[in-house]
Amino acid sequence: TQLLEQSPQFLSIQEGENLTVYCNSSSVFSSLQWYRQEPGEGPVLLVTVVTGGEVKKLKRLTFQFGDARKDSSLHITAAQPGDTGLYLCAGDRENSGGSNYKLTFGKGTLLTVNP
């Protein structure tokens, strides 16, 4: 059973479209992080959300953390080909022994933005 479920698994859209990807769990997380990973590279951190209900914006990307800290979403406005990549959510589970380091990753959403 995957602790963090991401959906959709694959998404192919045209340049200029908007999209939302989701990250859901039955567990509560102290924080959730979103990463983007390009082929042949390691994940790169985009944002960390820590407070239930928190919304963070990074240019055309909007991240939201659920009120109960069990889910998160990433919305991209006017997608561009440069947004293409694997989007991963990762969390630090509450009651993980205070580790604050053992990240649990979802399987990711593979986004392709066609010009």
**N-term to C-term CA, the chain:** 36
The least CB distance from residue 115 to another protein, in Å, is 25
Instruction: Find, among 9, 22, 39, 16, the residue nearest to 113 by Cα.
Output: 16
Residue 77 or 100 having the CB closest to another protein = 100
Residues that bind another protein (CB under 8 A): 4, 40-45, 48, 88, 90, 99-108
Closest CB to another protein among residues 8, 16: 8
Residue closest to 20 by CA, chosen among 56, 86, 85, 72: 72
Beta carbon nearer to another protein, 80 or 112: 112
